[in-house]
Structure 1
Amino acid sequence: MKKLLALWGCCLSLATAAQQLPVLCYHNITTPGQHQNDLLHVDSRQFEQQLKTLADSGYHTILPDEMVALLQQHKPFPARAVMITFDDSHDVHYSIAAPLLQRYHFKGVFFVMTVTLNKPHYLSSANIKALSDEGHTVASHTWDHPRPDGYQDWDKELLLPRRQLEKITGRPVWYIAYPFGAYNDSIIAHVKQAGYKAAFQLNRRPEASNELYTLRRMLVDGRWSGTQLLREISRYVTP
């Protein structure tokens, strides 16, 4: 029996380390015909089709607080759970994406780079406050989206955005997404020191020794139909 329990515990540890939760990453949500759909652009019709397919297939969203709690407790994720995230603070995340999320009873995670606050075509403080009040998660995407070798002022890149967003929302900001999905040991150490509970990257499997600070996301291709998105999710969660 002890051997069976040990084997079960090992399998559970491997399952959580593989992060069996699809975390979708979007950037630009465009109006139809504005831009060709690709890895960084999806028009509103295609985006809605993807959301509708998820909803029709029984998917529901969870947010980082629940995800991190389950990982820390070594518990499985709920069946057909998905996280939907948005990078780079575009104003269309509020004007286009958020209403579509609401239509399908989904909540999202909005990673905000605060250098763009209140600038044309980017999220305003009022937008960010409204997203938070509507039950979405507002999180950090650093101050000005530096490359891995571009972090010159750690307080400016990591602490200042937290303080700005917390002041706007009135809620703690515990999560961050690495610009370009890129990170290294030094960045992870500073993110921990800045008080973040978890950090998200792109595409690579989480590191067993730093799972909460290397949570992976998948870039959603704007050319994918809803059915293809489901196929990609299936591949993504297969160890």
Structure 2
Amino acid sequence: MKRFLVIWGCCLSLMASAQQLPVLCYHNITEPGTHKNDGLHIDRHQFERQLKTLSDSGYHTILPDEMVALLQQRKPFPAHACMITFDDSHAEHYTVAAPLLERYHFKGVFFVMTVTLNKPHYLSSAQIKALADQGHVVASHTWDHPFPEGYKDWHQELVTPRQQLEKITGRPVVYFAYPFGAYNDSIITHVQQAGYKAAFQLNHLPAPGKVLFTLRRLIVNGGWSGAQLLHEMTLYGTQ
């Protein structure tokens, strides 16, 4: 019983720690007036306002290697730390987001789906390589962004994208984000077998015993002011 309580206590500690680091998730960065700012869209001026608020409030970014190490060591995250991530390989992640991150001295994590590689309006191999060279993290988001029941070929969805991105960047690709934030036990097992070190979902508490493969992210609403973003981040560890 004592051993069980120790193990359970460690699991609870990991789960609590995972919630204390706000991991922000962005998708489409648009030109003002072209889309409504919402859960999947944010115009570039609003995006910069949010980044400026984070910077003015003393926030700094950490990357997945540091996050995972601190979780494994059960150590607290630095004060005013956050992670900024981007999904779905949009070209604006390089042309708009990356320069703004640089302006405010932030680094990001870019979850790339490789079916769009080098296609119009999506990241090119050269842009992905440049992001990695600039100190950002390039990570996997599957080949073609399937729903949970759509993983028909595990190697194509999980292994080949990692290998492609490693060839492009010249760096290990060991982090993964579930499309739609959706996962199940089978997907987690295959993600682990494919060689990933950790995986990110959306909006839910990490699963007991599988914390590193169910790390939580917060979808940022493009309609949030900087102040509201900060408020949502303060609630992040309590929901």
Q: Please give the TM-score of this superposition, normalised by the length of structure 2.
A: 0.95
1:91 aligns with 2:91: yes
AA aligned to 2:157 is E
Gaps of 5+ in 2: none
Query: 2:54, 2:91 → 1: CA distance?
Result: 24
Map of 1:170 onto structure 2? 170
The residue correspondences of 1:46-195 to structure 2 (distance < 5 A) are: 46-195=46-195
Map of 1:218 onto structure 2? 218
| Per-residue deviation, residues 121-162 of structure 1 (Å, max 9, x unmatched) | 000000000000000000000000000000000000000000
Q: Is the 8 A contact 2:11 2:209 kept in 1?
A: no
Give the C-alpha shift of residue 13 in structure 1.
5.1
| Per-residue deviation, residues 53-90 of structure 1 (Å, max 9, x unmatched) | 00000000000000001111111111110000000000
Query: 1:208, 1:106 → 2: CA distance?
Result: 31
Map of 2:12 onto structure 1? 14
AA aligned to 2:147 is R
Query: 1:97, 1:36 → 2: CA distance?
Result: 18
Query: 1:238, 1:186 → 2: CA distance?
Result: 28
State the secondary structure of the residue aligned to 1:209. Answer: coil
Query: 2:97, 2:34 → 1: CA distance?
Result: 16
Q: Closer, same or farther in 2 for the Cα pair 1:184/1:65, shift >3 Å?
A: same
Map of 2:23 onto structure 1? 23
Gaps of 5+ in 1: 1-5
Name the count of aligned residue pairs: 233
Q: Is the 8 A contact 2:143 2:156 kept in 1?
A: yes
Q: Is the 8 A contact 2:13 2:74 kept in 1?
A: no
Give the C-alpha shift of residue 238 in structure 1.
2.5
Query: 2:23, 2:79 → 1: CA distance?
Result: 14
Query: 2:210, 2:12 → 1: CA distance?
Result: 14
Q: Is the 8 A contact 1:13 1:74 kept in 2?
A: no
RMSD of aligned residue pairs (Cα, Å) = 1.5
State the secondary structure of the residue aligned to 2:106. Answer: coil
AA aligned to 1:206 is P
Query: 2:233, 2:13 → 1: CA distance?
Result: 16
Give the C-alpha shift of residue 15 in structure 1.
4.0
Percent identical: 73
